[in-house]
Amino acid sequence: MLSPDGKWVWDGTQWQPIAHHESLFPSWQSITVEPAAPVAQAVQAPVRVAASPTPALVQPYAFPSMPDSAPAWRREAKPTGVNWYLYFIAGVMGIVIILVVLNSVFPLWLYLPGPKPAPEPPAAQASPIPPVAHRSDFARADHFVSGVLPPQMTTLSQDLTPVSQSCNRQLTISCQNNISTARPQVKTVLSVIDQNPVPQCIAPQVAKLRADLATIDAALTAADKAYTDNQSTELAAAMSKYSRPASQLGADVAALAATMKTQCDATVTGP
C-alpha cells in the first residue's frame, strides 16, 4: 500500500521509505505522482457450484435387423414381357434368313411332298438361215425375202402393234414403255437389211421398205424425246409421222414377194 504523500509503502508490518533517485534529466524531478485512491478490498464470497446431476445412462437404440441383400451386380433383373418378344422375333428372322440362303443353293420345294412342277422348256432358238441353194438372182432374192426378213419382221410387227394402240396425244406410261421396246427392234431390222446382199431385181422394193423403217425409227425417236421434254404436242406430231409408214410395212413385204416372182431370173449363173 502506498502512503498518501507517495513517500512510504506498507510492507505488511511497517512503513518503509521509498528510495529516491536523482534523474539525469532535471525536468523529470518536477513530475509528481498523485497518490492512488484507497481501494477497498472486496470480500469475495465463496461461490458455490451446484453439483451437476449424474447423467442418466442412455440405452443404445436397437436398429431392426435387415436381411442381407445381394450385391448390385448379382441381383437378377425382373423379367419383362418385352425381352421375350424381342428374342422371339429375332429367332424367327434368323430362321427366315437361313431358309432364304439355303433355298438359293438347294431349292427347298424339291423336298416337299406332292407333285413337282414340270421343268420349263428351253427357250426357242431362232433357226439358222439356210444358205442360198442356187447361184441365181431368184435364189438370192428368195433367200433374202423368205429367209432373212420374216423372223425380223414378225418380231417388229409384235412390237409396233402396242405402239399403234396405246400412243395418242396423251403422255401415258404404257405408250412410253412400248416405244422403248420397239425402237431397238426397228434398228435391228435396218441393220439386217444393210448387212445382207440384195439382188438388183428386188432392190427398189427393199429400198422402199428400208425408207419406211427409217421414218418409223425417226418418229419413235421424236416420240421418246416428247417424254423427255414433257410435251404432248411433240408426241402428237411424232405419231402422225409414224402412222403412215407403220401401216405400209405389210404391203412392202408383200410387194417384195410379188416382185421376186416376176422380176428375178431363176437361171443359174457362174460355174
108: in domain: no
Which pLDDT value is given to residue 122? 43
47 found inside a domain: no
Instruction: Tell me the whole-structure pTM to 2 decimals.
Output: 0.51
Q: Is residue 110 part of a domain?
A: no
Query: Average pLDDT by consecutive 10-residue portion of the chain (271 residues)?
Result: 73 72 52 53 49 52 56 55 73 84 64 50 43 70 90 93 89 93 94 91 94 95 92 93 93 91 80 51
What pLDDT shows up at residue 204?
93
Would residue 187 count as lying in a domain?
yes
Q: Is residue 63 part of a domain?
A: no
**Domains in the chain: how many in total?**
1
- On whether residue 213 sits in a domain, the answer given is yes
Q: What is the pLDDT of residue 42?
A: 44
Structural domain boundaries, residue 236 = 137-263
Please indicate, yes or no, if residue 258 is contained in any of the structural domains: yes
Instruction: Enumerate the β-bridge partners of residue 9.
Output: 2, 16
Residue 226 belongs to some domain of the structure: yes
Contact indicator for 163, 183 with CB cutoff of 8 Å? no
Contacts of 16 (CB under 8 A, 6+ apart): 8, 9, 10
Phi, then psi, of 25 in degrees rounded to 5: -110, 115
Instruction: Give the Cα separation of 34 and 208 in Å (integer).
Output: 160
Per-residue pLDDT tens digits for 146-188: 999 999 999 999 999 999 999 987 899 999 999 999 999 999 9
* CATH at 232: 1.20.120
pLDDT for residue 107: 63
Enumerate residues 6+ apart whose C-beta is below 8 A from 130: 143, 147
pLDDT in the model for residue 129: 47
